[in-house]
Amino acid sequence: MSYKVIDKEKYYRSGVFRHFTEDCKCSTSMTARVDVTDLVIYSKKTGTKFYINFLYVLSKVLNSRDDYKMGYLWQTEELICYDSINPIQYVFHEESETCTPVYTIYSENYGEFYKNALNDVENAKKSKEYGLDMANHPNWFDASYISWLSYDSLNIELPDGYLHFAPIVNWGKYREENGRLMMPVSVRLNHAVADGFLVANVFRLLEKEMAALCKSLERR
């Protein structure tokens, strides 16, 4: 794990950062339906898991610009930007109705990421422990699949959220709408480091990266 320290006075969002860490401590979130039709087709044609393919695309998007990799060291009151961030995915145990966090290291190489993510999931299935260890995983973001419902909105409350800068992303079950497969995706970011444009941009980038991954099949 490595990062760079951001000069708060020279930070391009310095005024916004000051306001939303001092005057109005809050987060900003958005839920939208994303067209995943082509990614579903890609997954079926390649015999790969849609869930992991989407996790890869999401991780690539959030690593594509510094705004999504911000962190805050409350001990030293430093604003930082990590070189990369990694997804915390989850395994659901049907028998106990509990989840086990799965730490997967991000790699821009699709094949490497897919293999590691799949292995991480299989290993997590052997444990029923919750085992969340945020202290030793500061540059990890929450990526949670709500597979039971194609929801319309989702809100996550964080009482001390003004100190939590890592993205929190949830997505639900996709459903057919007008011949396309639409999936709800919710993105939560700290308002000190993100506004409506940056949250909405996650959805725009998801569409771009899904298209890029699907096109890679055509080049084979």
Residue 30 pLDDT > 80, yes or no? yes
Q: Residue 99 — very low, low, confident or very high, per pLDDT cuts 50/70/90?
A: very high
pLDDT tens digits for 39-92? 999 999 999 999 999 999 999 999 999 999 999 998 899 999 999 999 999 999
pLDDT reported for residue 219: 61
Nearest to 170, CA basis, from 86, 81, 87: 87
What separation in angstroms does the CA of 154 have from each of 68, 95, 150, 157, 184? 20, 26, 11, 10, 9
Q: Give the helix ranges, DSSP H, for the chain.
A: 14-18, 37-46, 50-62, 110-124, 196-218
pLDDT tens digits for 158-215? 776 668 999 999 999 999 999 999 999 999 999 999 999 999 999 999 999 999 999 9
pLDDT reported for residue 16: 94
Q: Residue 34 — very low, low, confident or very high, per pLDDT cuts 50/70/90?
A: very high
**Distance (Å, whole) CA 120 – CA 205:** 26
